[in-house]
């Protein structure tokens, strides 16, 4: 049974809090059935330019708190249907973290063994989350970048006969977004204005899949594709060289290290390339790392939206688009994940564990500060 076998067509549009207490009006067979149907939430005037409207599609409402839960469902379910996975098998994949967490979840629920390959620079929290769910995590050297962890996963698959997810080439990835993420957006904005769809790319599944679904029904919606300013792979116009299986050969010459974890590996994924050919984009925007971090922090402090650096990057791009968009424009930004898996990254460098001077003053304002 598919993760989305219980979905209906157009959703009822609730306003305010009138639907609180009604429950979901269904029971779930297992955790994978809760993937998807994430909400679109309006951004208030503290961040949204006047005369425009910005919404955020909050993918951290998925059970393992990222858009990659969709990818894991897509790839594992497709492999099961094709007879490539059977009980007791081992699944292996290379990931910057969110895919690994999602695949770990699927493997835990299905009873598969799981091995994840992840390059050294990605946050320690990700390693612990995957191991918490029973996965084995293989750390590859920093110098090898994304291509190094992909090569390691491929080696392990070939050596041990394990199922390799191949998230950067697997067409089930984009297909799942085409039949879930895109239709969700279309249903939520049914009868409503929507002018821009703003997102970056990791594997490219959301861009290629959701972008295709949206363009097919509402060709007037402009797709805005972002990538880190420091790593302008698409902007360069240079394609990644490929092996016969579609995987990239070596690092892209335009790649440089950047803080937007989960976005833009050191190669252009095949799914991105196919998305560019089939869907394309209407506007391109380069996103600064510092701006991504600052915007993520602002989302938390002014909206109560808790997301990582890539979420900040998407919203930074959405705000920049809103500044130059015609008055009345409506923009939707994809928010890929939550913030807790960034505690040891630059996103939290300015956040201290101990009380600062202002907090000490508040503490000392009542007598109990002397206790203990």
Q: Are strands 53-58 and 90-94 parallel, antiparallel or unpaired?
A: unpaired
Nearest to 274 by CA among 184, 211, 180: 211
Out of 157, 240, 251, 310, pick the active-site residue.
Answer: 310
Would you call 310 a catalytic residue per the annotation? yes
Calculate the alpha carbon distances from 289 to 181, 225, 261, 295, 346 in Å.
26, 16, 10, 10, 10
Q: How far is CA 18 from its chain centroid?
A: 30
Cα–Cα distance for residue pair 231/343, rounded to 1 Å: 23
CA distances from 249 to 185, 239, 252 (A): 35, 11, 9
Which residues contact residue 257 at a Cβ distance below 8 angstroms, ignoring those fewer than 6 apart?
Answer: 121, 230, 231
Active-site pick, 33, 57, 68, 145: 68
Output DSSP code: residue 242: B
Residue of 65, 246, 234, 87 lying closest to 166 (CA atoms): 246
**First vs last C-alpha separation in the chain:** 57
Are 353 and 84 spatial neighbours (Cβ–Cβ below 8 Å)? no
Active site residue 66: no
Catalytic amino acids? 68, 310
């Amino acid at each position: 049974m598919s993760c989305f076998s219980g979905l209906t067509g157009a959703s009822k549009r609730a306003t305010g809090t009138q639907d609180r207490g009604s429950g979901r009006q269904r029971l779930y067979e297992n955790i994978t059935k809760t993937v998807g149907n994430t909400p679109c939430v309006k951004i208030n005037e503290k961040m949204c330019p006047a005369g425009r409207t910005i919404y955020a599609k909050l993918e951290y409402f998925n059970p393992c708190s990222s858009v990659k839960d969709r990818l894991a469902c897509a790839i594992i379910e497709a492999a099961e249907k094709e007879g490539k996975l059977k009980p007791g098998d081992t699944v292996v994949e290379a990931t910057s973290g969110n895919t690994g967490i999602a695949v770990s979840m699927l493997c835990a629920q299905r009873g598969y063994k799981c091995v994840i390959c992840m390059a050294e620079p990605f946050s320690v929290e990700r390693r612990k989350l995957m191991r918490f769910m029973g996965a084995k995590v293989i750390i590859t050297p920093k110098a090898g970048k994304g291509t190094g962890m992909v090569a390691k996963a491929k080696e392990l698959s070939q050596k041990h006969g394990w199922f390799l997810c191949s998230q950067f080439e697997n067409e089930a990835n984009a297909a799942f977004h085409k039949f879930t993420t895109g239709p969700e957006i279309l249903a939520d904005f049914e009868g409503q204005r929507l002018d821009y769809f703003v997102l970056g790319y990791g594997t490219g599944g959301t861009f290629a899949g959701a972008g295709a679904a949206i363009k097919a029904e509402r060709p007037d919606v402009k797709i805005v594709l972002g990538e880190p300013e420091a790593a302008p792979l698409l902007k360069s116009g240079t394609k990644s060289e490929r092996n016969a299986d579609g995987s990239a050969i070596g690092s892209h010459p335009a790649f440089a290290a950047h803080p937007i974890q989960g976005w833009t590996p050191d190669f252009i994924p095949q799914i991105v390339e196919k998305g560019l050919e089939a869907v394309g984009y209407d506007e391109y925007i380069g996103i600064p790392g510092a701006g991504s971090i600052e915007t993520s922090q602002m989302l938390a402090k002014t909206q109560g939206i808790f997301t990582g650096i890539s979420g900040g990057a998407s919203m930074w791009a959405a705000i920049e688009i809103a500044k130059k968009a015609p008055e009345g424009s409506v923009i939707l930004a994809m928010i890929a994940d939550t913030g807790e898996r960034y505690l040891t990254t630059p996103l939290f460098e300015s956040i201290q564990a101990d009380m600062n001077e202002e907090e000490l003053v508040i503490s000392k304002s009542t007598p109990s500060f002397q206790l203990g």
